[in-house]
């Protein structure tokens, strides 16, 4: 099922042929630089099963990014409920997140996908806000957050409870947010320019 499309991307549900993508992304040192673990093939397959189930059960999740031109699956971007970060983020808050194969970095593809999913979340799902968070010095991700119109939440920095103490440099996270009203105002500004 296709969730939405952009100029260069099809944003869709996972297919059985996407197991290799799940493994490539979750085992790549560069892609996983800001995560305390890498997944082997079995763990990547379990991740695949979880994200497929999440979409089936809720309609929300990490959707595959497929290049229209080549039909290559290159990463994922999605909207999902954040239920593991209280008190920093209230249960049920919708988070936007992404990962992209390293060979496709620097082309604006994540920004393109994230903008489309913000439009989907605010325009079709009637969400009131969407958040995102990353390790404090993950400038690639925080730059995307800024480019898609999100703003850093003042006083919102937190130590991620799921990051083990063995990786203290990955604990501190920054929180970004965009409300539906802010998103609509940004859309009006773009139309007016």
**What average pLDDT does the structure give for the chain?**
94
Q: Indicate the pTM of the whole model.
A: 0.94
In this prediction, residue 193 carries a pLDDT of 62
Per-residue exposure over 73-99, b if at least 16 CB sit within 10 Å of its own CB, e if not = bbbbbbbbebeebeebbeeebbbbbbb
Six token digits for residue 137: 């010095």
Q: Per residue in 149-163, pLDDT tens? A: 999 999 999 999 999
Cα–Cα distance measured from residue 113 to residue 63, given in angstroms and rounded to the nearest whole number: 10
Cα–Cα distance measured from residue 72 to residue 51, given in angstroms and rounded to the nearest whole number: 19
Q: Per residue in 19-44, pLDDT tens? A: 999 999 999 999 999 998 899 999 99
Domain 2-192's class? alpha beta
> Over the chain, what HEC string results?
CEEEECCCEEEECCCHHHHHHHHHHHHCCCCCCCCCCCCCHHHHHHHHHHHHHHHHHHCCEEEEEEECCCCCEEEEEEEEEECCCCCCCCCCEEEEEEEECHHHCCCCHHHHHHHHHHHHHHHHCCCCEEEEEEECCCHHHHHHHHHCCCEECCCCCEECCCCCCCCHHHCEEEEEEEEHHHHHHHHHHHHHC
Q: Where are the domains of the chain?
A: 2-192
Whether residue 86 is predicted with pLDDT greater than 90 in this model: the reply is: no
In this prediction, residue 36 carries a pLDDT of 86
In this prediction, residue 171 carries a pLDDT of 95
Average pLDDT of 42-63? Answer: 94
């Amino acid at each position: 099922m296709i969730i939405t499309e952009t100029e260069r991307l099809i944003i869709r549900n996972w297919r059985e042929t996407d197991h290799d993508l799940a493994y490539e992304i979750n085992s790549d040192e560069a892609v996983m630089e800001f995560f305390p673990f890498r997944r082997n093939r079995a763990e990547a397959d379990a991740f695949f099963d979880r994200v497929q189930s999440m979409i089936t059960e809720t309609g929300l999740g990490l959707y595959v990014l497929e290049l229209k031109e080549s039909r290559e699956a290159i990463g994922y971007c999605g909207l999902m409920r954040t239920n593991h970060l209280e008190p920093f983020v209230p249960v049920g808050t919708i988070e936007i997140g992404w990962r992209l194969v390293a060979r496709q970095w620097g082309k604006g593809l994540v920004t393109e996908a994230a903008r489309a999913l913000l439009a989907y979340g605010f325009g079709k799902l009637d969400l009131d806000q969407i958040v995102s968070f990353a390790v404090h010095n993950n400038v690639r991700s925080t730059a995307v957050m800024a480019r898609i119109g999100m703003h850093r939440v003042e006083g919102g920095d937190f130590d991620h409870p799921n990051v083990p103490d063995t990786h203290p440099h990955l604990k501190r996270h920054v929180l970004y947010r965009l409300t539906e009203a802010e998103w609509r105002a940004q859309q009006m500004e773009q139309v007016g320019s």
